[in-house]
Amino acid sequence: MTTTTSSASLTDDAGALAGELTQLRRTLHAVPEVGLDLPRTQEAVLTALEGLPLEITTGQGLSSVTGVLRGALPGPTVLLRGDMDALPLAERSGLDFAAPVERMHACGHDLHTTMLAGAAQLLSTRRDRLAGNVIFMFQPGEEGYDGAGQMLAEGVLDAAGTGQPPVAAYALHVMSHSWPAGVFTARGGPQMASSNVLSVTVRGAGAHGSSPHRGKDPIPPAAEMVGALQTWITRTFDVFDPVVLTVGTFHAGTATNIIPDTAEFQATIRCFSPENLERLRAGTVAVCQGIAAAYGVEVDAVFSEQYPVTVNDRAETDFAAHAVRELLGEERFAPMDNPSLGAEDFSRVIDAVPGAMIFLGATPLGADPETAPSNHSPLAVFDESVLPDGAALYADLALRRLSAAAI
């Protein structure tokens, strides 16, 4: 396969950016923002892209940044994506640059944003050898806000203005656990699960805590629903087509001696197959309704779809694996045997165009990947040494894919 630049020059140039990338990552880490409105993050990204030969646009309904780099040679378009938002939890990592707020970059999106900005720098210096266009998709709202869907609706796939969608799309995702720092992994086909939400409100009747018979306590039936849903899943679904249900919130009451009117909980539900999705949609609601009827209370149980299954294009996954091995070394890519029950709205992008999500191990030096705090933990720490290689791979994927399309 013909490439447009040597691996050595790309990795050397990325290595020379290490200090700059580290500073940008720490700047982003210290100002975590949640959801679709990320003004300080957007400002930092725009500052990082200043002076580059990019056509920059920002989102209308969200704080997205889209950059288009037009190569000197004719060709199609490749999209590179990095998500930017943080999570609503207080950081306990102990880092000197930890954010002093109830928000944290616990999923590594600050690294994704930094690596994509680094790739923009690397590709800008290789514009004369770029056979086509590159769309840089800096996306807010991945953590449950469907930022990818909103950017698609605002036209990110046609940002290059060619009237043709990208021939390929790639995203990197760092992991603070499971893989050693610097090891990339991916699998063709389903790589990440669909994400769905079950929202339940149990409606009873309040009373004094000393006289439960005078009210209808919503807490016991709600608690029973939580347990029954777990049991129902283990007795309904094939373990080789996995399903996971986790209750993440449960709220009821204001004082020990008051029986509340309502109890509420929400669960995330993950699966891979459309058959299981349909069974979950009907079955979870039916379990809650049955328990409510037995207790004589009312229930509102709503099942809603969030993100579809992330299905990597097999050819693009093989292409990315080859790129890692040629750019960084054979040992730097490890095939991913089993899919993850995590979920991603990048799934929407690669539902529309061929592409792949690639995981990048970022377990801190000296930590055991099997026991290191995971993504979404307030203790999560990511090894910053992966930043140059992530930026180099983003750039290399674009160069290789456009070069391959031109042959």
CA 78 to CA 96: how far, in whole Å? 37
CA 156 to CA 135: how far, in whole Å? 8
The β-bridge relationship of strands 194-203 and 262-271 is antiparallel
316 is in an annotated binding site: no
Q: Which two three-digit tokens encode residue 248? A: 């993440």
Report long-range pairs for 44-53 (Cβ below 8 Å, ≥24 apart). Answer: 45/84, 45/113, 45/117, 45/138, 48/24, 48/117, 49/117, 49/120, 52/120, 52/121, 52/124, 53/124, 53/127
The catalytic position among 91, 142, 384, 394 is: 384
Cross-strand partners of 299: 202
376 is in an annotated binding site: yes
109 is in an annotated binding site: yes
107 is in an annotated binding site: yes
* Nearest alpha carbon to residue 322 among 174, 193, 188: 188
CA 88 to CA 69: how far, in whole Å? 34
The β-bridge relationship of strands 65-70 and 55-58 is antiparallel
C-alpha dist (Å) from residue 199 to 170, 244, 288, 387, 400: 33, 16, 11, 38, 45
344 is catalytic: no
20 is catalytic: no
Whether the CB-CB separation of 205 and 295 falls below 8 Å is answered with: no
The catalytic position among 307, 316, 344, 394 is: 307
Around Cβ 197, how many Cβ atoms within 10 Å?
Answer: 15
Name the residues annotated as catalytic. Answer: 307, 384
Q: Which residue ranges are tagged as binding site?
A: 107, 109, 143, 173, 376
Q: Which residue ranges are tagged as binding site for Mn(2+)?
A: 107, 109, 143, 173, 376
